[in-house]
Structure 1
Amino acid sequence: MKVAIDMRALPRTGIGNYSQALFEGLPKLFPATIKTVSVADNVIISRQKLRGYINRLSRLWWEQQKLPNLLRKNQVDILHNPMNHGLPIKQVCKSVVTIHDVIPLVFSDQYLKTFVERTYYNLALKVAISRSSMIITDSAFSMNEIIKYLDVPIKKIRVIPLACGKEFKPVLEMNRLKNVREKFGLRRPFLLTIGGNEPRKNVARLINSFEGISEKYSVDLAVVGGDWRGSGFSKGIMKANNVYFLGSVEQEELVALYSSAELFVFPSLYEGFGLPILEAMACGSPVVASNTSSIPEVAGDAALLFDPRDQEDMNRTIRGILGSREIKEELKQKGFERAKQFTWENTLNKTMEAYRYVLS
Structure 2
Amino acid sequence: MRIAFDGTALRPGRTGVGYYTEHLLHHLAQVVSNDELIVISNRAIDTTSPLPPGVRIATPSRRAPRLVWMQTLAVTAIREVEADVAHFTNGMIPLMSRVPAVVTIHDMSLRLYPRHHPTRRVLLNRPLVDLAARRANAIITVSQSAKRDIVGVYGLDPGRVHVVYEAAAPSFKRVLDPAELERVRRRYGIDDRVILYVGTIEPRKNLPRLVEAFASRRGTGELSHQLVCVGPYGWLSRGLEDRIARLNVAHAINFTGYVPFEDLPALYSLAEMFVYPSMYEGFGLPVIEAMACGAPVITGRTPALTEIGGGAIQHVDRIESDELGRAMVALARSRDRRDELSAAGLARASTFSWRRAASESLEIYRDVATARSRVRAEPGRPVQMATPGGPGRSSGSARPDGAGRSGRSGGPGGSVRSGGSGKWGRAGGSGRWGTWGRTGGSGGTGAAQPSVGVAQTSTDVLFGQAYFLRFDPKLWEARQPYAPLGALYAAACVRARGYSVALFDAMLAASESEWAAALDRHRPRFAVIYEDNFNYLSKMCLLRMRQAALTMIDAARA
TM-score, normalisation: structure 1: 0.89
Retained in 2: the 8 A contact 1:269–1:308?
no
Q: What is the distance in 2 between the residues matched to 1:110 and 1:249?
A: 24
The Cα of 1:13 is off from its aligned counterpart by 2.0
Q: State the distance in 1 between where 2:183 and 2:69 align.
A: 45
Q: 1:302 aligns to what?
A: 312
Q: Unpaired runs of 5+ in structure 2?
A: 46-63, 371-558
Q: Deviations over 1:304-335 (max 9, x none)?
A: 10134322221222222111111111111111
1:199 is aligned, of 196, 203, 220, to 203
Structure 1 Cα separation of the partners of residues 349 and 259 of structure 2: 22
Q: How does 1:60-71 map to 2 (within 5 A)?
A: 60-71=67-78
The answer to whether the 8 A contact 1:321-1:328 is kept is: yes
Q: Assess, with a 3 A threshold, how the Cα gap between structure 1 residues 351 and 323 changes in structure 2: closer, same or farther.
A: same
Task: Pick one of 322, 340, 352 that aligns with 2:350.
Answer: 340
For residue 9 of structure 1, what is the amino acid of its counterpart? A
Q: Does 1:242 align with 2:252?
A: yes
Name the CA distance, whole Å, in 2 between partners of 1:60 and 1:216.
Answer: 49
Give the aligned partner of residue 359 of structure 1: 369
Change (3 A) 1:199 1:133: same
Cα pair 2:202 2:236 within 8 Å, conserved: no
Q: Cα distance, 1:61 vs. partner?
A: 4.2
Where 2:72 maps in the other structure, the secondary structure is helix
Aligned match of 1:2: 2
Within 5 A, what are the aligned runs for 1:43-192?
A: 59-85=66-92, 87-114=93-120, 117-192=121-196
Q: How far apart are 1:339 and its partner, in Å?
A: 0.5
Once residues 260 and 143 of structure 2 are traced to their aligned partners in structure 1, the CA distance between those partners, rounded to angstroms, is 27
Cα offset, 1:26, TM superposition: 1.5
Cα gap change, 1:60 to 1:278, in 2 (>3 Å): closer
Change (3 A) 1:68 1:171: same
| Residue 132 to residue 35, structure 1, CA distance change in 2 (3 Å) | same
1:325 aligned to 332, 335, 359, which one?
A: 335
- Mapped partners of 2:368, 2:94: distance in 1: 17
Q: Secondary structure at the match of 2:222?
A: helix
Residue 230 of structure 1, CA deviation: 6.8
Count of residue correspondences? 344
In structure 2, C-alpha distance between the alignment counterparts of 1:234 and 1:268, rounded to whole Å: 19
SS in 2 for 1:331: helix
The AA in structure 2 aligned to 1:35 is E
Residue 255 of structure 2 aligns to a residue whose secondary structure is strand
Whether the 8 Å contact between 2:107 and 2:146 is mirrored in structure 1 is yes
Letter matched to residue 103 of structure 1: S
Cα distance, 1:265 vs. partner?
Answer: 0.8
| Aligned-residue offset at 1:155 | 1.7
Q: Deviations over 1:33-72 (max 9, x none)?
A: x21101111399xxxxxxxxxxxx9544433332222222
Task: Provide the residue aligned with 1:48 in structure 2.
Answer: none
Retained in 2: the 8 A contact 1:162–1:344? Answer: yes
Which amino acid in structure 1 is aligned with residue 109 of structure 2? I
What amino acid is the match of 2:244?
Answer: I
The Cα shift of 1:153 comes to: 2.1
Residue identity opposite 2:132 in structure 1: A
Return the alpha-carbon distance in structure 2 between the equivalents of residues 82 and 197 of structure 1: 22
2:296 equivalent among 286, 291, 303: 286
Cα contact 1:196–1:203 (8 A) shared by 2: no
Question: Conserved in 2, the CA contact under 8 Å of 1:137 and 1:143?
Answer: yes
Does the CA-based 8 Å contact 2:110-2:122 persist in structure 1?
no
The answer (yes or no) to whether the contact 1:23–1:37 under 8 Å persists in 2 is no
Q: CA deviation at 1:75?
A: 1.3
Would you say the 8 A contact 1:169–1:255 is kept in 2? Answer: yes
Map Cα deviations across residues 266-289 of structure 1 (whole Å, 9 max, x no partner): 111111101111101111111111
Which among 21, 24, 27 is matched to residue 25 of structure 1? 27
> Is the 2:4–2:83 Cα contact (8 Å) retained in structure 1?
yes
- Residue 228 of structure 1 and its aligned partner are, at CA, apart by 1.2
Q: CA offset at residue 346 of structure 1?
A: 1.1
CA-to-aligned-CA distance 1:190-225 (integer Å, 9 cap, x gap): 110123531111111111111343322421111112
Q: Which residue of the partner structure matches residue 381 of structure 2?
A: none
1:42 aligns with 2:43: yes
Pair 1:113–1:166, CA change in 2 (3 A) = same
Q: Distance in 2 between matches of 1:122 and 1:196?
A: 20
- 2:117·2:235 contact (CA, 8 Å) conserved in 1? no
- Cα shift at 1:357: 1.7
SS in 2 for 1:209: helix
Checking the alignment, whether the CA contact within 8 Å between 1:170 and 1:284 is kept in structure 2 is: yes
User: 1:231 deviation in Å?
Assistant: 4.1
SS in 2 for 1:281: helix
Contact 2:111 2:126 in 1 (8 A): no
Q: Secondary structure at the match of 1:355?
A: helix
Q: Residues 70 and 221 of structure 1: is their aligned pair in 2 closer, same or farther, counting only changes over 3 Å?
A: same
Task: Tell me which amino acid in the other structure corresponds to 2:43.
Answer: N
Q: Greater CA deviation, 68-77 or 231-240?
A: 231-240
Pick the structure with more helix per residue: 1
SS in 1 for 2:38: strand
Q: For 2:340 and 2:200, locate their aligned partners in 1 and report how far apart those are by CA, in whole Å.
A: 28
- What is the alpha-carbon distance in structure 1 between the residues aligned to residue 269 and residue 5 of structure 2? 33
Kept in 2, the 8 Å contact 1:188–1:218? The answer is no
Aligned AA (1:139): S
Distance of aligned partners of 1:207 and 1:200 in 2 relative to their CA distance in 1, 3 Å threshold: same
Judge conservation of contact 2:203–2:237 (CA < 8 Å) in 1.
no
Q: C-alpha displacement at 1:152, in angstroms? A: 2.2
> Contact conserved, 1:104 with 1:112, CA < 8 A, in 2?
no
Identity of aligned residues (%): 32
